[in-house]
Amino acid sequence: MTLDTSMEENPLDRDAIRAMRRSYGEAGLESLPDNPFVAFSQWLAEAASVPAIVEANAMVLSTLGDNNEISTRTVLLKDISEGGFTFFTNYSSRKARAIELNEQVTLLFPWFAMERQIAISGITEKVSAQESADYFATRPWSSQIGAWASHQSSPLSSREELEQRYAGASQKWPEGTVVPVPPHWVDIE
Ligand SMILES: Cc1cc2nc3c(=O)[nH]c(=O)nc-3n(C[C@H](O)[C@H](O)[C@H](O)COP(=O)(O)O)c2cc1C
C-alpha cells in the first residue's frame, strides 16, 4: 500500500529504507495471564524497566472525527482502573472533538525495543472533573503553565504568540503558587 504524499523528493532512497531491518528474537512469546488487564500491567511493568524504551506509558490514540477523518497522536497513560485506560487532555482539542462525535477509539502501545505492541479498541468515557483537577494538581508547574498557554490543535500565528501566552500565565501564577485547573481540562468549552 502507498500513502500518497505531496513530497517531491525522497531524501532516502528505496534501498536505504529496505535495508532498515533487524532480526527479531528479543522477547519471544511466553504464556500470559488469562486476564488481559493483568497481562497488560505485566508487559507495561516490563517495558518500563527496559532502558531503551522511553515513555513506556506513551500510547498512540486514534479517533474518528467529522467526515470520517481518522486522526492519530500520542498521549500518556496515567491510570488503569475498573477496566479502563485513562489519559488526560484538553477538551477543546481535535481529539476531544472527534471523541464527542464518535466514542470508539483505538490505543496502541509500541514497545519496539521489546519487539512487542499492544493494541486496544474501546469506548471512551469522560473521567470526573474532580479526577482531572486532582491529576492537574500533581503536574509540574511548567506543565500546568503549558496547559494554560497551549490552545491544543489550533494554528499559531507565530512562535512568539505561544511564548507570550506562556509568559503571561507564568506571571499570573508564579512558580510556587497554586495554578488553577484550566476550564478546558474539565469540560468542553
Ligand atoms: C510523548 C508524548 C506524549 C504526549 N502526551 C499527551 C497527553 O497525555 N495528553 C495530550 O493531550 N497530549 C499529549 N501529547 C501531545 C499530543 O500528541 C498532540 O500533539 C496534542 O494532544 C494535540 O492533538 P490533537 O490535535 O490530535 O487533539 C503528547 C505528545 C508526545 C510526543
Ligand 1, residues 70, 73, 143: which to mutate, most atoms within 8 A of Cβ? 73
> What's the average pLDDT block by block, 10 residues per block, for the chain (189 residues)?
71 86 75 89 95 97 96 96 88 94 98 94 94 92 92 86 91 93 81
- pLDDT at position 28, please? 67
Are the C-beta atoms of 125 and 178 separated by less than 8 Å?
no
Parent domain of 180: 128-189
Dig out the grid coordinates for 59 from the structure: 500510547
- pLDDT at position 72, please? 98
- Give the end of a domain, one of 126, 150, 180: 126
Please report whether residue 6 resides in a domain: no
132 DSSP assignment: H
CA distance 76 to 44: 13
| Residue 89 and residue 59 share a domain | yes
Q: How far does residue 40's CA lie from ligand 1's centre (Å)?
A: 22
CA nearest 127: which of 118, 119, 136?
Answer: 136
Please report whether residue 5 resides in a domain: no
Residue nearest to atom 31 of ligand 1 (CA): 74
CA distance 41 to 37: 6
| Residue 72 and residue 121 share a domain | yes
- Give the end of a domain, one of 105, 126, 147: 126
What CATH number does the domain containing 53 carry? Answer: 2.30.110.10
**H or E stretch including 100?**
helix 94-101
CA distance 88 to 64: 18
